[in-house]
Amino acid sequence: MALQIGDTAPDFEADTTIGRIRFHEWLGDSWGVLFSHPKDFTPVCTTELGYTEKLRPEFEKRNVKVIGLSVDSVADHERWSDDIEATQGARPRFPLIGDADRKVATLYGMLHPKASTTLTVRSVFFIDPAKTIRAMITYPASTGRNFDEILRVIDSLQLTDQYKVATPVNWRPGEEVIIAPSVTNEEARELFPQGWNEQRPYLRTVKLSS
Ligand code: BEZ
Query: Does one domain contain both 44 and 141?
Result: yes
Q: Is residue 1 part of a domain?
A: no
Res 64: pLDDT? 98
Q: Is residue 157 part of a domain?
A: no
Q: Is residue 5 part of a domain?
A: no
Here the CATH number for the domain that contains residue 178 is 3.30.1020.10
Res 209: pLDDT? 76
User: Which residues, in sequence order, are bridge partners of residue 31?
Assistant: 64
Cβ of 141 below 6 Å from ligand 1: yes
8 Å CB contact between 38 and 121: yes
3-state secondary structure of 67: strand
Here the CATH number for the domain that contains residue 134 is 3.40.30.10
Q: Is residue 47 part of a domain?
A: yes
Range of the domain at 188: 163-206
Res 210: pLDDT? 58
Query: Could you tell which of 37, 142, 143 is best to mutate to test the pocket of ligand 1, judged by most ligand atoms within 8 Å of the CB?
Result: 142
Query: Per residue of the chain (210 residues), what is the pLDDT tens digit?
Result: 899 999 999 999 999 999 999 999 999 999 999 999 999 999 999 999 999 999 999 999 999 999 999 999 999 999 999 999 999 999 999 999 999 999 999 999 999 999 999 999 999 999 999 999 999 999 999 999 999 999 999 999 999 999 999 999 999 999 999 999 999 999 999 999 999 999 999 999 999 975
The ligand 1 atom at the shortest distance from the C-alpha of residue 45 is 2
One of 14, 34, 45, 127 is an active-site residue; which one? 45
Cβ of 43 below 6 Å from ligand 1: yes
Q: Is residue 101 part of a domain?
A: yes
Query: Does one domain contain both 108 and 182?
Result: no
- Separation CA 27–CA 7 (nearest Å): 16
Active site residue 192: no
- Residue whose Cα lies nearest atom 2 of ligand 1: it is 44
Measured in Å, residue 35 CA sits from the centre of ligand 1 at: 14
Boundary (domain end) residue, out of 114, 145, 176: 145
3-state secondary structure of 93: coil
Res 70: pLDDT? 97
Cβ of 201 below 6 Å from ligand 1: no
- Separation CA 165–CA 208 (nearest Å): 10
Cβ of 119 below 6 Å from ligand 1: yes
- Separation CA 185–CA 188 (nearest Å): 5
Query: Does one domain contain both 141 and 167?
Result: no
Q: Which of 155, 203, 210 is nearest to 179 (CA)?
A: 203
- Separation CA 93–CA 198 (nearest Å): 47
Query: Does one domain contain both 29 and 81?
Result: yes
Q: What is the pTM of this model?
A: 0.96
The ligand 1 atom at the shortest distance from the C-alpha of residue 43 is 3
Query: Does one domain contain both 113 and 180?
Result: no
The number of folded domains in the chain is 2
Query: Could you tell which of 35, 37, 41, 44 is best to mutate to test the pocket of ligand 1, judged by most ligand atoms within 8 Å of the CB?
Result: 44
Query: Does one domain contain both 125 and 172?
Result: no
The enclosing H or E element of 105 equals helix 103-107
Query: Does one domain contain both 191 and 88?
Result: no
3-state secondary structure of 110: coil
